[in-house]
Structure 1
Amino acid sequence: MHHAKLDTSSCPVPWWLPDRQIQTLYGALAAPTGRLSFIRDRVDTPDGDFLDFDWSAPGLIAQPQAHNANTLTDSTPSGLSHSELIAKTAATRWMSDQDKTVLAQSGPGTQALLLLHGLEGNSASRYAQSIAQHFRARGWVVVVAHFRSCSGFENRLARAYHSGDTQEIGFILDTVRSMVPNATWHAAGISLGGNALLKYLGESGDQSWLAAAAGISVPLDLVAAGNHLSDNFFNRHIYCRHFLRTLKSKVMAKAQRFPGVIDIVRISNARDLRDFDNAYTAPMHGFRDAMDYWHQSSSKPWLAHITTPTLVLNARNDPFLPEPTLPGPKDASPHVLLHQPSSGGHTGFVTGMMPGNLHWLPNRLARFFAEKR
């Protein structure tokens, strides 16, 4: 029986980022990166909600086309000013019909990349910016799909997003393909987005039309990752607190709009991701509790069913996922390449002299995609 290949070559993390926590935090909060601006398209979902897609492509100009014309503004109850909204993501204006025509006319030689962000991420996240900038500079179409409640706008429904929502991933993929039908499409998911993407690929089998895919710093075993984030002292007080600050405020806002649907007492008392998923994510999305949600949504059991050429990149010192739970070659299909460098942290992968850069990750993705053409 054929199994996945394992690559343990290193990410050359610099000496001044000596451990997993510093590598993770510096990569997420301080590593230098430019700012690529996007054009935003809003697409209605079959259940009456919407998703926001941030696009950058040859022929698209992200700046507003006239003074106050088509400028991205917030008409939802969150009440953000234009400048506040732009600061939250990297979109500058809404997509026009002319923009859609430009995308649709992209030729058969066009290379395209869909990015799926991690928990509470968006198109301004450093990892998304570093990847998007790399591929756009080489002429690719790049689109960042925002999960519900992550685009700076309040969504219409009480539900949000979760790690195993493969139906949503399918809708996202169909949407971007319909916008640029002649392109050769690739997809990369980071952390939560990577888990949903890998699970989708495993469920889809040979039905996927993607040329290649990648999952980056994926919490493949959500039970192990969720417990580790919730029980480890540093993780609980640093990472959980960071995520809960925005998660809880968004859900409390939903509770005001949907009285009686959300248990606001349990939400307000949540002190880690397990508490939050028990109080909101699991019951809102049809799971019994956090453990049921984590167990059913983990992508690791689906790696053996993937037929799309797929890179699964996890640093062995990722603070979100205990190293012993990382998959080995027997856990994945021969279409999967497991790359497990010793260092890099969680979505960090910072390299270079101080102040460092985030070039290693997009270069790794580009090399993998090029090998699969």
Structure 2
Amino acid sequence: MIRLALVGSGAYFLYPLYDNKIYFSHQETPENLNLISSSPSLSKGIFTPTPWLANGILQALFGSSKGELPGHTPYGKDFDYQREYIKLPDNGTISIDWAIHGEMDQNNKILIISPGLTGGSKSQYIRNAVEVAVEKGYRVAVVHGRGIHDNPLTSPKTNHCGLSSDLAFGIAHIHSKYPNAPLLGLGTSMGGNLMLKYAGETGKNCLLKGISVVSTPYNLPVVIKALGRAWPYAGFPEKYLLKNLRQNLQTNWQVLEEIGKESIDLEKALKAESVYEFDNLITCKIHQYETPDHYYQDASCVNYMKNIEIPTFALSSLDDPVVTSECIPYEEFKANPKLILGVTRTGGHVGWFNGMVTPRRWYAIPAIEFLDSVLGSS
């Protein structure tokens, strides 16, 4: 019995090393086939993970330890940014961190990055993408939501998973600043949800030429329901996300206390034992959703993907410990000729570490190669 268990666990962790293909779902249009063949990593069609990180939870644990070290490290460069604050019509504030690197003209291509729910320009998974984009000649703008990543909360409205109107405002601001520059988008995790939702909401009027998204929680009701499962990750993803939500709550405590009055129980939210409970106490109260289920359904990008009119590449991993593979909308990708989905056996959540001695995140390479292919084809 013990031998069988060891063999089974060994196969569970090592199988991704043998099944390292990228599985695509898309319509086989000339445009899609050209975009894939013009992107070296996608045309190669494989992702080989670090052998000792050949599982989603190992990728996640590494990413949250050595993979998140500050400053210049063997795992990624650091960048200096120039921050720009943007006032929203309701007096809220978003910010844009512009990566500082050399002189560029007004028409230089721009990569707009939308990070995860509580991430930002200093998060290493974002810096890894900035590094790839800079090497490929992009001006890089990282957009932060309300109250996120040292961005002040200046209105009663907080950031949430489906607040694509704020991202749209930031993109429009960048377009007005550089009207002749081609704009491309990269969304990670919840930022991917916002990017796809924005593209679907704007359709043919989208200001972006193309987008890439990774580890996207396409269907939030399915994702939230799976977060706290005992198998196979012992509820670790929910605990990790709750920790970040609590930290962000404490950062904005004073403002929320002033605006919340009797409608928001901050102390109770700080002790929430699930993301669902936290959203019921905070997000639903502030944004006037009847229930978290209503909020999750309304915020899910899967409802808008049929309306996307620009070339789009999405990368997902079947062993993502945060975004369950059950939420990947294969049919939506096959129904819209503008969408291309790439799925790997392993990769974790915004991870895809490869290399033996000093693993580096690989996800930004195919994501940005695809965007360069979009520019080349246009």
TM range (shorter): 0.7 to 0.9
TM-score, normalised on structure 2?
0.80
Deviates more, 1:126-135 or 1:26-35: 26-35
What amino acid sits opposite 1:264 in the alignment?
Answer: L
Mark the runs of 5 or more structure 2 residues left unpaired by the alignment.
1-24, 37-41, 68-74
CA distance in 1, matches of 2:245, 2:160: 14
CA distance in 2, matches of 1:3, 1:354: 35
* TM-aligned CA deviation for residue 57 of structure 1: 5.1
Secondary structure at the residue paired with 1:372? helix
What do residues 61-95 of structure 1 show as CA deviations (whole Å, max 9, x unaligned)?
A: xxxxxxxxxxxxxxxxxxxxxxxxxxxxxxxxxxx
Give the counterpart of 1:312 among 311, 314, 333: 314
CA distance in 2, matches of 1:128, 1:45: 24
Preserved CA contact (<8 Å) 2:92 2:157: no
2:47 matched residue in structure 1: 11
* TM-aligned CA deviation for residue 10 of structure 1: 3.5
Secondary structure at the residue paired with 2:356? coil
Deviates more, 1:229-238 or 1:149-158: 229-238
* TM-aligned CA deviation for residue 222 of structure 1: 0.3
The alpha-carbon distance between structure 1 residues 271 and 250, as it changes in their structure 2 partners (threshold 3 A), is: farther
CA distance in 1, matches of 2:247, 2:307: 35
What amino acid sits opposite 1:20 in the alignment?
Answer: G
Secondary structure at the residue paired with 2:344? coil
* TM-aligned CA deviation for residue 265 of structure 1: 4.2
1:185 matched residue in structure 2: 183
The 5 Å alignment of 1:93-242 reads: 106-108=105-107, 110-232=108-230, 233-235=234-236, 238-242=239-243
The alpha-carbon distance between structure 1 residues 137 and 327, as it changes in their structure 2 partners (threshold 3 A), is: same
C-alpha RMSD of matched pairs (Å): 2.3
Indicate the percent of aligned positions where both proteins have the same amino acid: 24
What amino acid sits opposite 1:173 in the alignment?
Answer: I
1:357 matched residue in structure 2: 360
TM-score, normalised on structure 1?
0.81
What amino acid sits opposite 2:287 in the alignment?
Answer: H
Preserved CA contact (<8 Å) 1:221 1:298: yes
1:47 matched residue in structure 2: 90
What amino acid sits opposite 2:257 in the alignment?
Answer: Q
CA distance in 1, matches of 2:294, 2:352: 32
The alpha-carbon distance between structure 1 residues 58 and 251, as it changes in their structure 2 partners (threshold 3 A), is: closer
1:36 matched residue in structure 2: 79
The alpha-carbon distance between structure 1 residues 239 and 58, as it changes in their structure 2 partners (threshold 3 A), is: closer
The 5 Å alignment of 1:329-340 reads: 329-331=331-333, 332-340=335-343
1:23 matched residue in structure 2: 59
What amino acid sits opposite 1:294 in the alignment?
Answer: Y
Give the helix-richer structure, 1 or 2: 2
Secondary structure at the residue paired with 1:43? strand
Give the counterpart of 2:323 among 311, 321, 324: 321
Preserved CA contact (<8 Å) 1:40 1:53: yes
* TM-aligned CA deviation for residue 226 of structure 1: 1.0
What do residues 156-180 of structure 1 show as CA deviations (whole Å, max 9, x unaligned)?
A: 1232111111211210110111222
Mark the runs of 5 or more structure 1 residues left unpaired by the alignment.
61-102
Deviates more, 1:256-265 or 1:212-221: 256-265
What do residues 246-265 of structure 1 show as CA deviations (whole Å, max 9, x unaligned)?
A: 13313533333323342224
Secondary structure at the residue paired with 2:137? coil
